[in-house]
Amino acid sequence: MYTRENADKFVESRKYLLNGEYRLRYHLMSEFGWMNDPNGFVYYNGEYHMFYQHYPYQPVWGPMHWGHAVSRDLIEWKHLPVALAPDQEYDRDGCFSGSAIEKDGMLYLMYTGHIVTGPDKDLHYIQNQNIAVSDDGVHFQKLACNPVIRPEQIPADVSQKDFRDPKVFERDGVYYAVLGSNDGMGSGLLLMYRSDDLLNWTFVNEIARSDGYMGDNWECPDLFELEGHDVLMLSPQRMPAQGDDFQNLHSTAYMIGRLDTVQGRFLYDQYEQIDCGFDFYAPQTTIDDKGRRIVIGWMETWETEIPTQLGHYWAGAMSLPREVVMQGDKLFFKPIEEMANYRHIGYEASNILLDGERDLGVSGDCYELEVVFRADQAEEFGLKLRVSGDEETVLSYSAADGRFLFNRDKAGIGLGGERRTKVELKEGLLELRIFVDKSSVEVFIQGGAKVMTGRIYPGAQSLGIKAYAKGSCSIVSFKKWDMQ
């Protein structure tokens, strides 16, 4: 039997084994073992709480627990005791993803209980929804009435086993939960349930379904209001690529529309990719005391080997927190303002002419860059980061087809590959804000119009920063800060 206490004791006794070579400096990671989806992201009692899918015993996916950390600024995190362990009959094979909500000063976690029912754990299982409650935000008690949403409350024409990741929210005094599922015939979909008390739930409707091009199962929905609109985020599995977009095996997308709570329908016209890079999944949002809508995703990719799984004793990390802002009919994702508080030892240069490759005279493995390029006559230009010998991570812009590229083919050990996304220059300018942290790169393009995230695993000696151009262009401004 797994217990919270045993998980905490095990982690405390094994932390000395950690290899720090690729440990991130200003991102949330587990203290030991495996981390995936952000769960229960909430601002409660003056702190940000992040729970996460966690297998504390090995750096591999296993019977899921809920790890727990808190922060006052979303950057510096303090680990708390494990919040949930699979210790009940209804969640014996995993406390899967879910969300959090405050009610009457108490913090409620709503999560999926996973039960394996046959010899093949990937085929034979059922799932249900449960509640755990805390009056201090640290110690959680599972309710005696669990499960609060049972498999028999799944509609007959929907998968009877994929039924998970409840996102709970309140609207007009009523609580709603949206859950990920599929129709068993290749189309992902979302279900919505309604409650007056968080304990007794009734099915409302299927609120949205794949158009045939959005994957065979939908996971980790998040539904919220932003500037008078409803926004739906989700993680479609096995979504076919659409040109440059949705190139990963499992993707993330958002829709801006309207939720009809009476009919139980989410009405929208189009969908967009949330992050155009390699490693961003299962994003979850919260609203804070400043009224900001903040999103964080799992900065990793399913069904791939992660270099830190071998000999490092940890795997997985969270992305930087990003403020979600509506501009026109699109969402922009911007680094939160608190990031500036961690800048240390700044460097600035301006009006750097480029035609060929140029060492910028600065280096590092944990820093922030703000760079503005003027395209001029260059057919291609960009930056090479974490450079040493043949090792480099390349961020570039191709003027011929208006695409921004993130290439990690020579980034070190781990997966290579390239991701591309359409980017429009603004009066001939390309504005980049880049965060490098030991084994991660996050690029915010044109003020957050596009974001690209990727894990890289270069050698410790790969610290160089270069700029290059094919044809002539210029760097209007270049700013670098170490992050401390």
Tokens representing residue 94 in the block: 């995993």
Query: CB count, 10 Å around CB of 246?
Result: 21
Q: Is 37 marked active-site?
A: yes
Strand-pairing partners, residue 376, are: none
In angstroms, the Cα distances linking 343 to 26, 231, 240, 335, 483 are: 11, 32, 40, 13, 5
Residue 85 gets which letter from DSSP? -
Query: CB count, 10 Å around CB of 310?
Result: 11
Please report the beta strands in 196-342, taking only residues with DSSP state E, as ranges in sequence order: 201-209, 217-226, 229-237, 253-260, 265-268, 272-273, 281-287, 293-298, 314-315, 322-327, 330-335
Rounded CA gap, 412 and 417, in Å?
12
Which one from 8, 37, 91, 93 is the annotated catalytic residue?
37
Q: Residue 74: exposed, middle, or buried by beta-carbon count in 10 A (0-12, 13-18, 19+)?
A: buried
For residues 17 and 86, is the Cβ–Cβ distance under 8 A?
Answer: no
Tokens representing residue 67 in the block: 């790890």
For residues 406 and 454, is the Cβ–Cβ distance under 8 A?
Answer: yes
Q: Map tokens 């500037």 to a residue.
A: 227
DSSP SS3 for 297: strand
Angle at 136 between CA 131 and CA 142, to 5 degrees: 20
* DSSP string for 401-461: TTEEEEEEEESSBS---EEEEE---BTTEEEEEEEEESSEEEEEEGGGTEEEEEE-B--TT
Residue 400 gets which letter from DSSP? T
Give the amino acid at 47: E
Rounded CA gap, 357 and 379, in Å?
14
Catalytic machinery residues: 37
